[in-house]
């Protein structure tokens, strides 16, 4: 049997097309060694260059502290964004205030840029339903279901066309989501509708324990754009300047009615979440080269080359982030206990009968659990 490459087609007579006929390059400004062509650097001022660095520190420090909270039992499971800092910050920095951002959960700094409070993100990961309401007030949402919210993104973009809204909607998701039917339906329909949508795939090369090459035989996510009739690009997601620049152009394309399929190539350094142990399925030798390609260190080398490092007080920045995080924890701890009804009240203006029935059933079940509680023998900790 011939391997699934261009080889088999070239031996035939009909005009077959293969992946090799459409090579997809990786867009990059700062390479892995910190080298770059000054002519390719985006037109940003000193404050903006430093701002990008600060936001990457926010993302890094947030991930570290969230894991610490989870280990202490003060947080549910969370997904670390370590290694994704450039991808998240570069893409979020290109968005405008009124744009929509539907995230998969690793995009904290991008949501903070849009005005979401850190307290509300902490509340979300503690399972407080009110948090989604607060996120929505800033045109943001976190979708836990893999790819399930992508058709909603197309719907929002369609609505923007109908109401002639001068904004875009972007969906952030992982490479695992591109193997779902919802992804294909959403991107295809966005192309049909000329919806102002950006489908931003953070291809960190692992869908929990499934490596990218076992999800698809395609060489890249970006090349799929052609099949949907939309614009596509593959960017070095560990290069914050390339990500920002490409995302800025993606936004311009989307505003013109050209949906974009954006692939940010990065790497998930840690587990899919704190409930996951990547050492069970991933060789440690695979991770080490990526630790040497740290996106923050790469950007630091750029700032030094540009003579901007003297404007950076890294310790003060981290201290400021920690102070903000401490205040957010205090505010989240002070958020009062919630009632079970809140699980049902934010989706419809008037609750439909089906949800009313589910609410009554849940209340009945919880009441029975309360009756059982006195019979449960709890094992002491330790």
Mark out the alpha helices in the chain (DSSP H runs). 6-10, 46-71, 85-93, 108-113, 118-125, 130-136, 150-162, 181-193, 224-228, 240-255, 284-291, 295-305, 314-333, 342-345, 353-373
In angstroms, rounded to a whole number, what is the distance separating the alpha carbons of residues 223 and 305? 34
Rounded to whole angstroms, the Cα distance separating 10 from 68 reads: 55
Of the candidates 224, 251, 268, 298, the residue annotated as catalytic is 268
User: Is residue 272 among the annotated active site residues?
Assistant: yes
Reply yes or no on whether 281 is catalytic: yes
Determine which one of 281, 311, 360, 364 is catalytic: 281
* Number of C-beta neighbours around residue 82 at 10 A: 18
Please provide the DSSP assignment of 41-65 as one string.
Answer: S----HHHHHHHHHHHHHHHHHHHH
Smallest CA-to-CA distance from 71 within 275, 272, 268 is with 275
In angstroms, how far is CA 247 from the centroid of its own chain? 14
Q: Active site residue: 82, 84, 245, 272, which one?
A: 272
Separation CA 26–CA 328 (nearest Å): 38
**Phi-psi bin for 230: left (phi > 0), alpha (psi -120 to 50), beta?**
beta
| Look-up of token digits 């690009």 | 233
β-bridge mates for residue 265, sequence order: 203, 236
Residues serving a catalytic function are 268, 272, 281
């Amino acid at each position: 049997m011939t391997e699934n490459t261009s080889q088999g087609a070239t031996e035939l007579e009909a005009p077959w097309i293969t992946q090799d006929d459409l090579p997809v390059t990786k867009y990059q400004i700062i390479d892995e060694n910190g080298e770059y062509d000054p002519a390719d650097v985006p037109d940003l001022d000193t404050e903006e260059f430093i701002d990008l660095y600060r936001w990457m520190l926010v993302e890094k420090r947030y991930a570290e502290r969230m894991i610490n909270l989870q280990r202490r039992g003060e947080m549910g499971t969370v997904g670390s964004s370590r290694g994704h800092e450039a991808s998240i910050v570069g893409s979020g920095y290109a968005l405008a205030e009124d744009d929509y951002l539907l995230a998969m959960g690793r995009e904290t700094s991008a949501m903070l840029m849009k005005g979401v409070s850190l307290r509300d993100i902490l509340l979300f990961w503690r399972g407080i339903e009110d948090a989604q309401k607060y996120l929505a007030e800033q045109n943001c949402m976190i979708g836990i279901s893999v790819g399930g919210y992508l058709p909603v993104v197309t719907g929002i973009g369609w609505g923007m066309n109908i109401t002639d809204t001068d904004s875009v909607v972007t969906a952030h998701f992982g490479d695992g989501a591109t193997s779902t039917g919802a992804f294909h339906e959403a991107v295809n329909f966005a192309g049909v509708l000329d919806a102002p949508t950006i489908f931003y795939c953070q291809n960190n090369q692992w869908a929990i324990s499934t490596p990218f090459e076992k999800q698809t035989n395609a060489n890249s996510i970006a090349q799929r754009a052609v099949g949907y009739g939309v614009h596509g690009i593959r960017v070095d997601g560990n290069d914050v300047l390339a990500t920002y620049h490409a995302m800025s152009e993606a936004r311009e394309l989307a505003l013109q009615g050209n949906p974009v399929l954006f692939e940010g190539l990065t790497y998930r350094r840690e587990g899919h979440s704190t409930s996951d142990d990547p050492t069970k399925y991933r060789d440690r030798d695979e991770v080490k080269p990526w630790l040497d390609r740290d996106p923050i260190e790469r950007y630091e080398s750029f700032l030094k080359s540009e003579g901007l490092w003297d404007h950076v007080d890294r310790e003060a920045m981290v201290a400021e982030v920690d102070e903000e995080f401490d205040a957010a924890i205090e505010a989240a701890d002070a958020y009062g206990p919630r009632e079970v009804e809140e699980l049902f009240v934010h989706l419809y203006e008037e609750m439909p009968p089906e949800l009313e029935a589910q609410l009554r059933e849940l209340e009945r079940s919880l009441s029975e659990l309360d009756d059982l509680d006195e019979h449960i023998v709890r094992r002491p900790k330790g």
